[in-house]
Amino acid sequence: MVKTAAAIARLGTESAFEVLARAKQLEAQGRDIINLGIGQPDFQTPEHVVEAAVKALRDGHHGYTPANGIPELREAVAEDLELRHRVSVDPASVVVVPGGKVTMFFAVLMFGEAGAEILYPNPGFPIYESVINFSGAKAVPIPLREDNGFAFSAEEVLSLITPRTRLIILNSPANPTGGVTPREEVDRLVAGLEAHPEVAILSDEIYSQMLYDGREHVSLLQYPQIRDRVIMLDGWSKTYAMTGWRLGFAVWPKALAEAATRLAINCHSCVNAPTQFAGIAALRGPQDAVAEMMSAFDMRRRTIHRVLNDIPGVSCVEPAGAFYAFPNVSGTGIPAKTLEVELLEQAGVATIAGTSFGRFGEGYLRLSYANSQENIRAALDRIAGYLGNREARSA
Ligand code: PLP
């Protein structure tokens, strides 16, 4: 019998992939499933971006690139951030990686070890807790609450800091809640962090361009007083519908960019060249496709929010960002995981239990509205019908 390292048993997972596999299985058996489970845009990557990758291949870009990314791509990232967040970024502090997740892993590896504590949002992207546990550090949840619009509370985050805290993970706009933390709250947090100069911050801003009703994005890069300890994670997956390409980046504090590049050299060497050329085209080319996608998401968001609130036992705060609704289903009396399984198996709708995003997700479901208006309406009809019949049966 082989004996694996203890850390392997501590790795968690992302249930969205498991729900997707089960949904595919049911479809293969002839069942009609509407998938509101998966967190990826239902749009294709813009044509000019695809063409840039094809051209790069034809032009012979088949070899390794610098481990931290092609210089032109890192320059394009810096220009884009200057434009969007009005911050000055040195392309030397940008590290390009195969997807947003990789930055998460690197940051946690850099700060996590036995005896250390890492704060992370809960409910939140499940990989945060998983990789913190893997690193040996203690995962300390930052509870996100519905009555606060699922924004984090600066006061609460600061109250969780101990002498062992090494890293705080933040995510706004947030998965799975669609919550967005307002600038005043971020200001308060940053002011409080000045008393904790030894604590680093990983700010996951992968949904920074997915905001509604004119909300502004607040980047942690905009605070010079903590700039030397902020790792800002972003990428192409969501904004440019490029989840399968595997392309992301982070702006690292100057002192840590080299360590991050070393992790890249030890792990994957570099992102494949054609994908990096596609990344340049995405940033420097026309942005109409992004605007079109966002206007479609906004319409769906309004539909899903309105219809969910009409279902007895269900209530939903209006999502402010990303493409997820996080309805409170506690009024149905059904535990989140049971409801997820029943909706998939009985009603033919794939959703994700709030508990897949941490224990503070009990009583909630995540519905991704990266699906057509027609499918969203049909899925909500199925959910309402199923809950109604279930209620009638148990009466
Ligand atoms: N961060 C958050 C909050 C996410 O929701 C996701 C993907 O779902 C990621 C990071 C990872 O993105 P990528 O697919 O680029 O690794």
How do residues 59-73 score in pLDDT, each as one tens digit?
A: 999 999 999 999 999
Give this prediction's pTM: 0.97
How do residues 374-385 score in pLDDT, each as one tens digit?
A: 999 999 999 999
Q: What is the CATH number of the domain that holds 202?
A: 3.40.640.10
Residue 127 lies in a domain: yes
Claim to verify: residue 37 and residue 120 sit in the same structural domain: no
Q: What is the pLDDT of residue 100?
A: 97
Pick the atom of ligand 1 nearest to 171's CA. 3
Of 356, 326, 354, 392, the C-alpha closest to 177 is: 326
How do residues 322-333 score in pLDDT, each as one tens digit?
A: 999 999 999 999
For ligand 1, mutation pick of 45, 97, 101, 102 (most atoms within 8 Å of CB): 101
The answer to whether 365 and 354 are in contact (CB under 8 A) is yes
Claim to verify: residue 292 and residue 336 sit in the same structural domain: yes
Claim to verify: residue 14 and residue 100 sit in the same structural domain: no
Mean pLDDT of 15-34: 92
From the CB of 239, is ligand 1 less than 6 Å away?
A: no
Claim to verify: residue 306 and residue 374 sit in the same structural domain: yes
Q: What's the CA gap between 128 and 133, in Å, rounded?
A: 9
Residue 278 lies in a domain: yes
Mean pLDDT of 165-176: 98
Banded pLDDT at 13 (limits 50, 70, 90): confident
Q: What is the pLDDT of residue 282?
A: 98
From the CB of 279, is ligand 1 less than 6 Å away?
A: no
Mean pLDDT of the chain: 97
Q: What's the CA gap between 200 and 154, in Å, rounded?
A: 15
Mean pLDDT of 174-188: 98
Distance 129 CA to ligand 1 centre (A): 14
Distance 205 CA to ligand 1 centre (A): 9
Task: Supply the residue whose CA is at minimum distance from atom 8 of ligand 1.
Answer: 39
Tell me which of 252, 284, 316 is where a domain ends.
284
How do residues 215-251 score in pLDDT, each as one tens digit?
A: 999 999 999 999 999 999 999 999 999 999 999 999 9
Q: Which domain holds residue 93?
A: 63-284
Mean pLDDT of 353-359: 96
Claim to verify: residue 206 and residue 325 sit in the same structural domain: no
The answer to whether 39 and 206 are in contact (CB under 8 A) is no
Of 233, 232, 228, 230, the C-alpha closest to 255 is: 228
Q: What's the CA gap between 168 and 349, in Å, rounded?
A: 35
From the CB of 240, is ligand 1 less than 6 Å away?
A: no
Mean pLDDT of 256-267: 98
Given a cut of 90, whether residue 39 has pLDDT beyond it is no
From the CB of 361, is ligand 1 less than 6 Å away?
A: no
From the CB of 46, is ligand 1 less than 6 Å away?
A: no
Distance 100 CA to ligand 1 centre (A): 5
Percent share of the chain, pLDDT over 90: 95
